[in-house]
Structure 1
């Protein structure tokens, strides 16, 4: 049976993550494991409340509760074996010293071997909204696989979004932006290139096509998140720097996106 592991700490973002995870566990017929890390004695009462909240949100096929001492991020990563998904609440910043603190959530998302979903606020109205997948010019199979699976669960076609912007050129001894010009042919070329790269994935959902939007990735994907139920992003592995593997754009989107964000690990470029 698939397992979803969710961190519990009783905070508002933590409760939002718990409810989101409970609905997804019911949808997947997956086991829902509620994990509280800090004081096991105090955690038992918190877990009882969390379990009741999970059953109100949905009816997980199987529910397990667990309270352990230690550092939240470290313990959670040690318990991830057997889970197919980790769900955490996050403020997106790091000012709160708990499981939902931005620093802990970002650290886990930066090195967890399975996809991590970060939830900031109540997302109960977003479970059936479209899945947006951020794709690069060298799309990641792991990211696409995760995005397509989430879309299938919702019965909607995934929206594959690529941000493109004109690179700077050297001018008068310093970088200068190219003056405005007709970018339509360039954008069409990017669409065609992406369609070739994504052909095996597009065949899974006939009628889908990559959406290419001119602009910076953060701005393009932030706008796309406004109508999404989940934003799926990739993560490059960096040996020796795993806790810092999230790029600035991904961190910004975790903080500012208007829907839950899924971070999926992918191999570093050769």
Structure 2
């Protein structure tokens, strides 16, 4: 739309003082420095919501003790960022809402959200972490989920980025995001496509009957699919971007294929949903599987994150 305001891109990170959120804060600060972008640090209090039949809804005001704790958490976070990345401009925000809603409301389509795999009130038994999954499913912009490094400083060295694709529109958009990240950082881009040959079948009998062997058929289809997706992504940019691209095609399951290719990589990019998604999941089964098992940051592109409002 002509005349539409474009907000400057920021990095938005949710924290609560836990080890998991500290790793996210350090990664977010490093990424903000790399992008020369401001860093918005959000601490959510999750104050109870009061609903009245006549007066609408309102949240409890935090007590002075709660407010003081929040100020302390944010102050420590800003001091840590100044120590690690002194050039980064920070903004501290105390939000009354629950953590997922607070982080989402503090972000815009041109931003980048960073959260930890756990923390912000997450139960240890919850798959990956309810906050990270809910934010990754509903955010208006890409979300980076950073695993805890157990006291080790987080970095954003971007030498190798892995992206998983299938034939879905979500995968094409995820590939576009990964391509842009690789172009910005000078990283190698590894595109992973997997398929599983249906069994049982008799390859000898099928070949004798004149059918093309299943492995060869799927290999050719995979090559055509990936080549077509890459051509679309490059054509959309219409720029002379220098990105080194390699392709991995395999019969492994999608989650295993992506994680195997991600060994030694710096980030993994996935779409929030693709083909074969299990209904009822906030994220697709592949996205959740990668988030659950990845040892490196996972960039999730929510379903409509890069579409015009």
TM-score by length of 1: 0.82
Supply the distance in 1 between the matched residues of 2:41 and 2:132 (Cα, whole angstroms).
16
| Counterpart secondary structure, 1:117 | strand
| One of 189, 195, 201 as aligned partner of 2:233 | 201
- Cα deviation for residue 208 of structure 1 reads 2.5
Contact between 1:109 and 1:116, CA under 8 Å: does it hold in 2?
yes
Equivalent residue, structure 1, for 2:40: 33
Equivalent residue, structure 2, for 1:150: 181
Supply the distance in 1 between the matched residues of 2:96 and 2:280 (Cα, whole angstroms).
21
Does residue 219 of structure 2 align to residue 192 of structure 1?
no
Give the 3 Å change call, closer, same or farther, for CA 27–179 of structure 1 in structure 2.
same
| Counterpart secondary structure, 2:245 | coil
Aligned residue pair count: 255
Question: 1:115-130 counterparts in 2 under 5 A?
Answer: 115-122=142-149, 124-125=154-155, 127-130=157-160
Supply the distance in 2 between the matched residues of 1:178 and 1:84 (Cα, whole angstroms).
52
Give the 3 Å change call, closer, same or farther, for CA 195–82 of structure 1 in structure 2.
closer
Equivalent residue, structure 1, for 2:161: 131
| One of 277, 280, 284 as aligned partner of 1:247 | 284
Contact between 1:40 and 1:69, CA under 8 Å: does it hold in 2?
no
| One of 22, 30, 41 as aligned partner of 1:23 | 30
| Residue deviations 1:129-172 (CA, integer Å, cap 9, x gap) | 3111111123544312221222123212311111121134xxxx
- Cα deviation for residue 51 of structure 1 reads 1.0
Structure 2: stretches of 5+ with no match in the other structure: 1-7, 46-65, 205-212, 236-240, 305-309
RMSD of aligned Cα (Å)? 3.0
TM-score by length of 2: 0.73
Equivalent residue, structure 2, for 1:55: 82
Structure 1: stretches of 5+ with no match in the other structure: 169-175
Contact between 1:87 and 1:116, CA under 8 Å: does it hold in 2?
yes
Question: 1:1-270 counterparts in 2 under 5 A?
Answer: 1-38=8-45, 39-81=66-108, 84-91=111-118, 94-96=122-124, 102-122=129-149, 124-125=154-155, 127-138=157-168, 140-168=171-199, 176=200, 183-184=215-216, 186-202=218-234, 204-205=241-242, 208-236=245-273, 244-266=281-303
| Residue deviations 1:148-201 (CA, integer Å, cap 9, x gap) | 222123212311111121134xxxxxxx46679772453133112320232133
Supply the distance in 1 between the matched residues of 2:303 and 2:139 (Cα, whole angstroms).
11
Contact between 2:81 and 2:88, CA under 8 Å: does it hold in 1?
no
Give the 3 Å change call, closer, same or farther, for CA 26–201 of structure 1 in structure 2.
same
Supply the distance in 1 between the matched residues of 2:157 and 2:202 (Cα, whole angstroms).
42
Give the 3 Å change call, closer, same or farther, for CA 184–124 of structure 1 in structure 2.
farther
Supply the distance in 2 between the matched residues of 1:106 and 1:27 (Cα, whole angstroms).
26
Give the 3 Å change call, closer, same or farther, for CA 234–177 of structure 1 in structure 2.
farther
| Counterpart secondary structure, 1:150 | helix
